[in-house]
Amino acid sequence: MITNPTRQRTLRGHKPTRPTPRAANTAEHQALLAGRLTPRDRWIVRMLWEHRVLTAHQITALAFPSSRSGRQRLRELYLWSVVDRFQPFISLGTAPMHYVLAPAGAAVLAAEDGLDVKRMGYRHDRAFGIAHSLRLAHTVGVNEWFTALVDRARHLRQGEQVALAAWWSEARCARYFGDLVKPDGYGRWFDGNRRIDWFLEYDFGTEVLTKLVGKLTGYAALAQSTGITTPLLVWLPTSRREATTRQLLHQAWRELHDPRSVPVATAAAELLDPNAVHPSPADEVWLPLGTPAGDTYRRSLSELSDVWAHVAAPAVVDDDAAAAPAPNSPHSTTPPPSPMPPAATTPQA
């Protein structure tokens, strides 16, 4: 053993290798993917391009019936260089695997949209840049917020007309509204005959509250320039911070030229029931501004549409218009992917 030691690498079993970034874009590899990628895989690719990074838990909640099936498929997509992954450091426990778009996935996406990868604006190093970004936790938090809504809709019993119909990323919102406001996301929720559109401001407890409150003037300017009233949802980490924020928001909101043009509601993450099967921002955690004194009734997301009966028009146009490039955009803006996964992947009740 001392004179002829066995090398460590010979003790390991066979480990499949990933294609290099150059090999992932070859015709041979793309031909291989053509016969392997399912509609769900292609949807995951688009979601990663739209939202930059999704954790293994989020992707499983969005599109898979179990964590085991999600892990298996994500491993295959990783080995095919369709997705890439990293695991950030945390002081306690182990962080979930975080997934970003890999070169082969970008090539598939560009081909579907009739573009080349360079024109699409993808670069592997930039995709991985989120791993070292100071906004990683915030981006993952916003994506978790919307993922909880999708997870809620997917697991309701059949026949209920509940769905997250739109989910725009921060980057897409910035391309369309960035001259006035830069929300953390835009969404549209259907619950039976009720529908509500909103902009999201996701507070991690680190933003200066005066800066958050100061954004109301931008939302008022957007409502005035577009003629469309879009509610603003402010999500905060604790009830204590929410109470302080509401005082500042109410003062600034009352000083707007037309407060009704910017309906505002707040909620705190700690109000969610930890024992609920699928807790989400759709629960009864929202408290609108401007309600009568003493009204502390928390409403569900869909019930906010009853409070703001004057809000009728959508915040943004749909489908064909959404596919048009944003003004002065440096690259083509394709339509956002549907927040709900392909119907074939939805688990049965």
- Coil vs helix vs strand at 209: helix
Domain that holds residue 196: 159-316
Counting other chains too, the contacts that 42-48 makes at CB distance below 8 Å and 24 or more residues apart are 42/108, 42/109, 42/112, 43/337, 43/338, 43/341, 43/342, 44/77, 44/83, 45/82, 45/83, 45/101, 45/105, 45/108, 45/109, 46/109, 46/337, 47/337, 48/83, 48/99, 48/100, 48/101, 48/105
Q: How confident is the model at residue 348 (pLDDT cuts 50, 70, 90)?
A: very low
pLDDT of 201 higher than 60: yes
| CATH number, domain containing residue 29 | 1.10.10.10
- Inside any domain, residue 321: no
- Inside any domain, residue 69: yes
Do 117 and 256 lie in one domain? The reply is no
Do 254 and 182 lie in one domain? The reply is yes
pLDDT digits (tens, 9 = 90+) for 261-319: 999 999 999 999 988 888 999 999 999 998 876 778 999 999 999 999 888 645 444 44
Do 163 and 277 lie in one domain? The reply is yes
Do 164 and 309 lie in one domain? The reply is yes
* Mean predicted confidence (pLDDT) in 190-199: 93
Name the pTM for this structure. 0.88
Do 177 and 298 lie in one domain? The reply is yes
Do 29 and 176 lie in one domain? The reply is no
pLDDT digits (tens, 9 = 90+) for 92-142: 889 999 999 999 999 999 999 998 888 899 999 999 999 999 999 999 999
- Inside any domain, residue 344: no
pLDDT of 89 higher than 70: yes
Q: How confident is the model at residue 156 (pLDDT cuts 50, 70, 90)?
A: confident
The tokens describing 313, both together, are 């028009």
- Inside any domain, residue 10: no
Do 123 and 249 lie in one domain? The reply is no
Do 182 and 310 lie in one domain? The reply is yes
